[in-house]
Amino acid sequence: MLDADFFRRWMTATATSVDREAERLTALDSPIGDADHGSNLQRGFRAVKDALDKEPPTTPGAVLTQAGRLLISTVGGASGPLYGTLLRRTGKALGDAAEVDGRQLAEALRAGVDAVRQLGGAAPGDKTMIDALVPAVDALGDSFAAARDAAEEGAVATTPLRARKGRASYLGERSIGHQDPGATSAALLIAGLVEAGGE
Amino acid sequence: MSDGKLVGIVLVSHSAAVAASVAELAQGLAGVGGAVPVAPAGGTEGGGLGTSAELIAAAAASVDRGAGVAVLTDLGSAVLTVKALLAEGDELPERTRLVDAPFVEGAVAAVVTAATGADLAAVEAAAVEAYTYRKV
């Protein structure tokens, strides 16, 4: 079973990997975006980590809803409302339970991904974070490691795609050949599950 | 009509200067001496380019007179942030609506219409209609 501390570790692990990969995320965002993805997410997840360290919520759902709210208010770019909605909606779907199992997490995360798709209007293949998240949620029933691998494969597979959402879509054909920064950071988030689970 | 209370207008842009200038332009063209509550929410709290949920929430609260708040945005994270705040449920005043309109023309249409005492639906309709005004 997964308790509130597991979810706090998940967010902390993500904050650490976003810190570590911030320069790479910003570098990926330079040719096809506005070169702020790494620093924006770094600011957001640092705020999440600080808040959770200071006063950790007592349920899995509350950890994620608080994290989502903070991302919306601190990131300053499109990734704020997108990741914020992902975590908040996932947290709401988990309800008030003190512990949840892997199947409940998978179902809740699917609700979160659906909310992101609704918010941004992106579908699989549009070269966005959805391309990492959808395969990850599909694989989550097997193991966290399977979800991590599926997210990473999904992120790499965005390279030949032409962007159809977000700022990169203005570039048309020129967005082809670059790995999507949002899909890359989404893979970091999913990899955080493996670290939180101690796998 | 809405009991003499005017609809509030919030203008959200990636740039503080753009949001403030469009607010000034719309109020100037409306020619009503600033009777309509209009608040810009531009850029990040640090003064950079981007979107601030806090500035948006503060702007919406500041123009809420009880007749509703129409929010106009430029693009990208401005749109997504307002949508996410609306989905949250308690971050923005009751009867706040994201209006799908061109930023400058929609803002002028919204402020002019709000100045007549029109209700939120009419303000929204006027702003949306600005899309149909072709220039060539």
Does residue B23 sit within a domain?
yes
Listed in sequence order, the residues at least 6 apart from A57 whose beta carbon sits closer than 8 Å to its beta carbon are A4, A63, A66
φ, ψ of residue B71 to 5 degrees: the values are -110, 125
A31 with A179: CB under 8 angstroms? no
Answer whether A69 touches B (CB < 8 Å). yes
Q: What pTM did the predictor assign?
A: 0.90
CATH superfamily to which A2-197 belongs: DhaL domain (1.25.40.340)
pLDDT at B32: 62
pLDDT digits (tens, 9 = 90+) for A69-90: 999 989 988 899 999 999 999 9
Residue A165 tokens read as 């959402």
pLDDT, averaged across chain A: 94
Is residue B2 predicted with pLDDT exceeding 60? no
In a domain, B134, yes or no: no
Residue B45: closest CA among chain A residues belongs to which residue? A76
> Which residues of chain A are within 8 Å of residue B77 when distances are taken between CB atoms?
76-81
Residue A31: the pLDDT is 87
User: Would the CB atoms of A76 and B52 count as touching at under 8 Å?
Assistant: yes
Chain B residues touching A166 at Cβ < 8 A: 76
| CB-based contact A81 B80, cutoff 8 Å | yes
* CA gap A121, A134 in Å, rounded: 14
CATH code, domain carrying B78? 3.40.50.510
The mean pLDDT value for A116-142 works out to: 95
Lowest mean pLDDT across A53-62, A168-177, B59-68, B124-133: A168-177
Name the helix (H) or strand (E) containing B34: none
How far is the C-alpha of A89 from the C-alpha of A28, rounded, in Å? 27
Which residue of B54, B76, B84 is in closest CB contact with A85?
B84
User: CA A57 to CA A66: how far, in whole Å?
Assistant: 8
Partner-chain contact B83 A119, CB within 8 Å = yes
B79 in a structural domain: yes
Percent of chain A with pLDDT over 70: 99
Beta strand A2-3 pairing with A99-100: antiparallel
DSSP assignment letter at A163: P
Structure tokens at A35: 């070169």
Count of domains for chain B: 1
Two tokens, residue A69: 């709210």
| pLDDT value, residue B90 | 81
- What is the distance between the alpha carbons of residues B103 and B12, in angstroms, rounded to a whole number? 9
Mean pLDDT across A37-43: 93
Compute the nearest-CA separation of B93 from chain A (Å).
17
Size of interface A-B (CB pairs under 8 A): 49
Q: Which residue has the tokens 């989905």?
A: B87
Percent of chain B with pLDDT over 70: 96
B54 touching A (Cβ < 8 Å)? yes
pLDDT per residue as tens digits for the range B37-96: 999 999 988 888 989 999 999 999 999 999 999 999 999 899 999 999 998 778 899 999
Whole-angstrom distance, CA of residue A137 vs CA of residue A106: 6
Per-residue confidence (pLDDT) for residue A49, from 0 to 100: 97
- Cβ of A72 within 8 Å of Cβ of B87? The answer is no
Candidates B2, B11, B13, B14; catalytic one: B14
Q: Which of A73, A85, A120 sits opposite B87 (nearest CB)?
A: A85
On whether residue B63 sits in a domain, the answer given is yes
Question: Which of B113, B135, B133 minimizes the C-alpha distance to B124?
Answer: B113
Nearest to A73 by CA among A108, A45, A111, A35: A45
Shortest Cα distance, chain B CAs vs residue A143, angstroms: 30
Q: A60: closest CA among A92, A85, A18, A12?
A: A92
Closest residue of chain B to A79, computed from CA coordinates: B77
- Structural domain containing residue B49: 8-113
- Reading the block at residue A19, the tokens are 């810190």
Tell me whether residue B52 is in a domain.
yes
Nearest CB partner across the interface for A82, out of B53, B54, B80: B80
Domain ranges of chain A: 2-197
Note whether ipTM > 0.85 here.
Answer: no
Assigned domain for B122 exists: no
Chain B nearest C-alpha distance from A199 (Å): 33
A55 C-beta neighbours (distance < 10 Å), count? 8
Looking at residue B65, what DSSP letter applies?
A: -
Host H or E run for residue A100: strand A99-100
Task: Identify whether B89 is a catalytic site residue.
Answer: no
Whether residue B127 is contained in a domain is answered as no
Q: Would you say A49 and A196 are in contact if contact means Cβ atoms under 8 Å apart?
A: no
B88 and A166 within 8 Å at the Cβ level: the answer is no
- Report the alpha-carbon distance of residue A152 to residue A64 in Å, rounded: 22
Q: Residue B43 gets which letter from DSSP?
A: B
